[in-house]
Structure 1
Amino acid sequence: MAANNKTNKLAFLSMPAPASYVAGLGRGASGFTTRSDIGPAREGPSEEVIAEARARRGEEPDVDPEQFQDPDNEYGLFAGMTYEQDDEEADKIYEKVDQAMDSRRKARREAREHEELAKHRAERPKIQQQFADLKRGLAAVSDSEWESIPEVGNLTRKKRRREERSFVVPDSVLVGDRSKGEYESALDATQQEMGGFATPADSGTLTNFVEIGQARDKILSLKLDQISGTSSTSGTATSVDPKGYLTSLDSVVIKSDAEIGDIKRARMLFDSLVKSNAKHAPGWIAAACLEEHAGRMVTARKIIKAGCEHCPKSEDVWLEAARLHNNNDAKVILANAVQHIGQSVKIWLAAADLEHDAKAKKRVLRKALEHIPNSVRLWKETVNLEESATDARILLARAVEVIPMSVELWLALARLETPERARAVLNKARKAVPTSHEIWIAAGRLLEQTATNSSAAEPKSDAKELEVVDRTIELAVRELRKHQVLLTRDQWLKEAEKCESQGSPRTCEAIVKATAAMEIEEEDRLDTWFSDAESAETRGMVGTARAILAYALKVFPDRKNLWRRAAELEKAHGTRESLDTLLGQAVKHCPQAEVLWLMAAKEKWLAGDVPAAREVLERAFNVNPESEEIWLAAVKLESENGNMDVARQLLQRARDVADTDRIWMKSAVFERQLGQLDSALETLQTALTKFPKLAKLYMIKGQIHQKLKNVPTARASYAAGLKACPKDTTLWILASRLEEADGKSIKARALLEKARLVNPANDELWAESVGVEERSGGAVQAKAMLARGLQECPASGLLWSLSIWSEPRPTRKTRSVDALKKSADNPVIICTVARLFWAERKIEKARQWFGRAAATAPDLGDTWGWWLKFERQHGVEEHREGVRAKCVAAEPHHSPVWQSMAKDDANRGKTVREILELVADALQ
């Protein structure tokens, strides 16, 4: 068997090779070159043979990616197609066309390229061009100059490696370093002999520091004695103050080197300036100021003196020279200045200021008036120096003759004259200056002053004089318009406010009457006057605002809102008499305006005049017999004054005459407050037959039954109300609280859930649901309910307040910031933030935030209660009284605790101040 295998192997080796066989081809072998470079030993296989061999082995042939690519159209649309003779001919035609088009634009393109290149070379020249002029200059350099050029040193600043050498330190150095830090606490023999006062040297000299200090003090005192008082040798007094000598030494400014250098450079610049332009006055002034700053007063005076010589017509140079010299020298300088520029008002005024005697000042100013008679400022200064009114009047009379166009001088003369002569003066001034509105206004003020000072026994003449003021201002407007003096309406209103501030309200009113209707369209008059009155009141000009509203009421006497705005202005800034007069006129012009009748009656009542208030309401009844507001105001007036029978009769008549749902509701409330619960239930039964959709009737009925401990009847009343008025939130809350009070929290929770379905996105219902969960002991459920409520009502201040207090103490502040962002400064959130500051003992911040909350929503009574509670703990009586006064002025009506206290039958008849105290006690 082995012999057969051997025979087959030999037979195989002797067989001829296949036609395409290449020895070593599978290993990547190919032909080779002999050492003697005689060429390949044999030719290698052809590409076809290699491809056939690889195909038999299953290898894919290598495809050259450049094999089928057209070099001229490699990425074109027809890249894979055959490139034929037609394609070549077409390419030649296109190439010729491109050459023709390129030759057409070649001249312009080359010109543009040359232009851009020249521009670029001009902006950024080559280094060769930049140094071309310097290279041309090198042609003139001589050989000696070339040789004198220093050699360039090594500027590379490379760190040279230093050879480190080490030496052996001797023992003496080590011993010396060891004894450096030692201290010797014992005295040597020499010091012991001398008592410890000998110096370390061998000189033996004693150093007594006490004697040195005493000697220094003696020398200093001796120097001070020598320079103080009168010298014994010369007998002249010195200018050194011995007491302030050391203080003056401390005040010496020590300049730094940098500042001294700056002063030197500035001195050089100013020196060059004044030498190059000697007529430049500011240069001399600046140079003198520099020397003054440097402490060289003598040099500064020399420089400014030279400036006066070179610039004798500049008043600034003379004034600076006077400033740099003492008083006597300054007088001489200004006297010289007057000789050069005698028309300078500043020079004369400066000369007058140098005089300390009034007579000398008058002399200087009168001399100035001889040179400059048309200077208003000089005349005013001269008049101000006169102590006698007669002399001042004489001077002003002369001044207006010299300067007839000066309005100030005319007005000053009129103020000094008697009323009769002042009128003549103003008439002359008006003729001299017909374009001045100040003269006309001064005439009006003069007439008003005359009327005010007239006797009280002649009121008619007083009224006539005041009418003359109106006519004068009207004439002023017409005359100024003739002379083309067109003041705008705003300018006239500013003049009116100016008159009011100067104590002339009647002139202010006359200006408003004459100019209020200027430059306004007819349809915009009312709105414009409203805004003008509000802006004037905001600036504190109450008289101007009152005059604007009075003029508007003359134009629109039947506008109820206008009368009400005027009444509010009088109530805030006027007197009771003026408010009473205004309301009397208001009800005459607007008899159908119930609010005006009620305001008039209330003011009479607050003044303590109850019969007058009844009279006002009776007149209101005659005009408005079916007005429920007037009927209820009459009932309140009688009930507050203890006339219960009269109030009951009025309610009966009101039900017969007006027969409104509110009157029926008030009747039931009145009976309940008196304790007549049966009568109240009968009234409610009748009212429900007439007004079955009024939710408050069901509330009152349910509350009365709940007070009588009749829970099923109360439940039935609330159920009937919910069926008739499902959108009333308060009714749902009362029904839920009834169930909760009866111990049925599950039913209360169900009622509130149904209420939220009927009234979606209602924060009061969500807050009540949270309260039910908290009162039932489910803190987790309450927090979940609160989260759901905030999702449905993201801007509710009530829910955010509950969320803040439900957080732990460290995270409340962050929660409050989120609440303020989400709720857009809700007053409940502001009050909550104030309470947080209160808890953190930040008293002033808490007080500020309480005030902000009260100002944002003054109708919320709980805010006032929290503020008063805070002031009770941290404030003084003045703060508490301020809170009470503001609350009484605001008259709040809403908030949960406030309403519960105000509507409680036990608190009937209590004032706002008393209810505020109760609310502050009840808040927790």
Structure 2
Amino acid sequence: MYEARRVLRQAMVFCDQTAEVLMIRAIKLEEKTGNYKEARELLSRLELVDITKVWRIALEGAMLESRCGNIVTARRVLRYLRKHVPWFGPIYFEAFRLEEKEENWLEAEDIVEQGLTEIPKYGPLWMGALRLAETMDSLEPDGGGLVRTRSVIERAAKNISKEILWKIWLEAGACEHRYAKSLNPDDPAALSRNLTRARKCLARAALTCPSNLTWRVWVSGALMEADAGQEATARTLLRRAYATVPEKSRASVFVEAANAEETLGNLDVASAILTVARSEVSSDWKVWLEAVEFERRCSPNDSERARSLARAAIEMHNSTGRIWALVVAMETDPEQQAELLRRALENVPKSGEVWCEAARVHLDPTSQAFDLGTVQRFLDFATQFTPQFGDSFLECLRLKLILEVKDKFCVALLERLRELVGASEFDVAPDRATLREQRGALMEEIVSVCASFARSLPMAGDDESVVQELDGVDLADLVLRASNSEPNYGAHWLSFHRSGLGKGVRAVIREAKRNLCREVAHQFVRYVAAVGRQEGVAMLVRKEGNWDASLECKDGESAGAAADETDSDFARILEKRLRECPPLPPALLNT
């Protein structure tokens, strides 16, 4: 990294023609390595330079400050750029995105209008304007309809270039579909009557769309008609999509056809479509993933069928993290699950989905492997390797809530465990058999103390009081990280995305926080006991680190390394001890 930094600095000095590009790369490099001070020093060199010559670098600086959470500075730089470089569309778009993430809707609307006045044919800004208008319409307290949205659509159709006009009509059809569905969520017949505008928009999209992309319009229309219960129309549109789709995209049509049939209630037909897809486009992992998820949704009582299909999917696509994550999630035997996790991480070590699933295993209060430190480490990997996977951020939120439970309700328990472990007679190293016996007895006592303490808490069984205590958790850092990553998939993430007002990260996390607070409160007793059990065993492992290393070496362990919590051996030994430790009492887990 030092060498890369040195080369970039030299290039900026000797290569005037590429200095701007190199400066931007140098800033990104410093940000990636966490050297924000160095990045800002590079930007400070531009203070006396004509902005018309270095505005691209200034834009990168504004984005840097935005990603760091310095919203005021970023906003000021973007405002300055809009004044002096009004012809460059991405400046308006980034300024609009900044305000949209902060949920400053009116300010975002003003920026969009400024940009469209200056550059009326800039497509990304029109798409942003359409998304913003739909969000603002959805936030109207009186449910006034899609007034802003329809106005933006009409204006965009008159100004946007013909090459991307079809995208506006396609998105307009999706907006009308969502609005009609919000009016009649459980009545397909009423929904069908309210889809006139949506059908007209999709018809215009089909007329203006390039021939190699019309299949997307037909698929969108088919899903809409399936929602409205129009089986014949949906199938007609799907046949058109299949007839026009390029070879490389056939898998997408198969998957959406199965989704349409599932929506219509034709589960056997959907299953048959996915079976044909696995035969005709077996090289595409998406059809295998959809087939496994379909079996999980539609055959919850026949889990073996889904697991069998998942194992077949792994044989075909052993480098697909999303399939490995499903395989791990469906396994119920702890030992088998641990082995599957090991295999998954050998095959896809940079899959955020697998790391997230591993974190979930260690975040389950009923699991003997419950360990908040391991969870934090795994979620750091998950959000780093696959930042667009939203479920990882929701597990980060769950972890924050459990840590709040630990800080507020487990202090007395941890002090009691510290006294218990400290008073245990491990000053003189006994023989190995006695050592194991003493360790087992101490672990049983730790579990007993944790269970008794959790049951005795005044808030045990009072979910509302626990929710009130958890409501004040500070999520600013998590919101910033998620906003910078802009997650766009994940089953849990999308479920909150659809239910939250607005469509931004803040809305999703707000909605998720309400639900997860209730979940954690419902399992409050379990979490308190599980946290105590983990901390008590960790205290035991630390004390074991003071024993004669030769005794531990007989077990194939390095006891000296266990004394250092930053050493990977500590985490390894802790996990082994946690799995050896007796589980929480069944009566506690069933509360």
Query: What's the TM-score once normalised by structure 1's chain length?
Result: 0.40
1:703 corresponds to 2:257: no
Residue aligning to 2:39: 545
Paired with 2:371 and 2:38, the residues of 1 have a C-alpha distance of: 42
Residue aligning to 1:816: 341
Residue aligning to 2:170: 665
Paired with 2:381 and 2:116, the residues of 1 have a C-alpha distance of: 41
Contact 1:755 1:765 (8 Å CA) reproduced: yes
**Match among 497, 501, 506 for residue 913 of structure 1:** 506
Contact 1:872 1:880 (8 Å CA) reproduced: no
**Match among 328, 340, 361 for residue 804 of structure 1:** 328
Paired with 2:229 and 2:310, the residues of 1 have a C-alpha distance of: 32
Deviations 1:559-612 (A, max 9, x none): 775343111123245855543342244345654532211122344567787665
Deviations 1:808-832 (A, max 9, x none): 3212112211110101321011011
Deviation of residue 861 (structure 1)? 1.3
**Match among 563, 588, 594 for residue 89 of structure 2:** 594
Paired with 2:205 and 2:121, the residues of 1 have a C-alpha distance of: 18
Paired with 1:574 and 1:744, the residues of 2 have a C-alpha distance of: 48
Paired with 2:355 and 2:238, the residues of 1 have a C-alpha distance of: 35
CA RMSD of aligned residues (A): 3.8
Residue aligning to 1:142: none
Residue aligning to 1:770: 292
Paired with 1:883 and 1:543, the residues of 2 have a C-alpha distance of: 22
Structure 1 pair 910–626 and aligned structure 2 pair: CA distance change class (3 A): closer
Q: Secondary structure at the match of 1:794?
A: coil
Matching residue's letter, 1:810: E
Paired with 1:879 and 1:592, the residues of 2 have a C-alpha distance of: 43
Deviations 1:208-257 (A, max 9, x none): xxxxxxxxxxxxxxxxxxxxxxxxxxxxxxxxxxxxxxxxxxxxxxxxxx
Paired with 1:607 and 1:823, the residues of 2 have a C-alpha distance of: 35
Deviations 1:669-725 (A, max 9, x none): 222233242211121122223225244433432233222222232233233223322
Contact 2:254 2:277 (8 Å CA) reproduced: yes
Contact 2:166 2:206 (8 Å CA) reproduced: no
Paired with 1:753 and 1:641, the residues of 2 have a C-alpha distance of: 42
1:521 corresponds to 2:15: yes
Deviation of residue 629 (structure 1)? 1.6
Residue aligning to 2:237: 717
Equivalent residues in 2 for 1:476-495, closer than 5 Å: none
Contact 2:166 2:204 (8 Å CA) reproduced: no
Deviation of residue 833 (structure 1)? 1.0
Residue aligning to 1:626: 121
Structure 1 pair 605–521 and aligned structure 2 pair: CA distance change class (3 A): closer
Paired with 1:607 and 1:745, the residues of 2 have a C-alpha distance of: 42
Paired with 1:831 and 1:879, the residues of 2 have a C-alpha distance of: 22
Paired with 2:393 and 2:105, the residues of 1 have a C-alpha distance of: 30
Contact 2:356 2:378 (8 Å CA) reproduced: yes
| Gaps in structure 2 of 5+ consecutive residues | 141-145, 181-193, 406-469, 521-591
Matching residue's letter, 1:860: F
Contact 2:173 2:199 (8 Å CA) reproduced: yes
Residue aligning to 2:156: 654
Instruction: Give the stretch that moved more between structures: 536-545 or 712-721.
Output: 536-545
Residue aligning to 2:206: 688
Equivalent residues in 2 for 1:508-587, closer than 5 Å: 519-523=13-17, 525-526=19-20, 528-534=22-28, 542=36, 544-549=38-43, 551=45, 554=49, 557=52, 562-572=57-67, 576=71, 578-587=73-82
Contact 2:62 2:73 (8 Å CA) reproduced: no
| Identity fraction in percent | 18
Residue aligning to 1:892: 487
Contact 1:601 1:617 (8 Å CA) reproduced: yes
Contact 2:109 2:129 (8 Å CA) reproduced: yes
Structure 1 pair 694–563 and aligned structure 2 pair: CA distance change class (3 A): farther
Contact 2:389 2:489 (8 Å CA) reproduced: yes
1:786 corresponds to 2:315: no
Structure 1 pair 637–708 and aligned structure 2 pair: CA distance change class (3 A): closer
Paired with 2:77 and 2:201, the residues of 1 have a C-alpha distance of: 40
Deviations 1:509-567 (A, max 9, x none): xxxxxx99885233553454345435655787656533423546948946775343111
Paired with 1:589 and 1:601, the residues of 2 have a C-alpha distance of: 17
Matching residue's letter, 2:339: T
**Greater RCO, 1 or 2 (C-alpha within 8 Å, sep 6+):** 2
Structure 1 pair 899–724 and aligned structure 2 pair: CA distance change class (3 A): farther
**Larger Rg belongs to:** 1
Paired with 2:167 and 2:357, the residues of 1 have a C-alpha distance of: 35
Structure 1 pair 833–576 and aligned structure 2 pair: CA distance change class (3 A): closer
Paired with 1:754 and 1:611, the residues of 2 have a C-alpha distance of: 50
Contact 1:651 1:663 (8 Å CA) reproduced: yes
Equivalent residues in 2 for 1:47-126, closer than 5 Å: none
Structure 1 pair 601–850 and aligned structure 2 pair: CA distance change class (3 A): closer
1:860 corresponds to 2:365: no
Structure 1 pair 824–518 and aligned structure 2 pair: CA distance change class (3 A): closer
Paired with 2:37 and 2:399, the residues of 1 have a C-alpha distance of: 39
1:750 corresponds to 2:267: no
Paired with 1:729 and 1:646, the residues of 2 have a C-alpha distance of: 36
Paired with 2:19 and 2:320, the residues of 1 have a C-alpha distance of: 40
Contact 1:583 1:600 (8 Å CA) reproduced: yes
Equivalent residues in 2 for 1:278-289, closer than 5 Å: none
Q: How many residues are treated as equivalent by the alignment?
A: 410
| Gaps in structure 1 of 5+ consecutive residues | 1-489, 494-514
Instruction: Give the stretch that moved more between structures: 631-640 or 661-670.
Output: 631-640
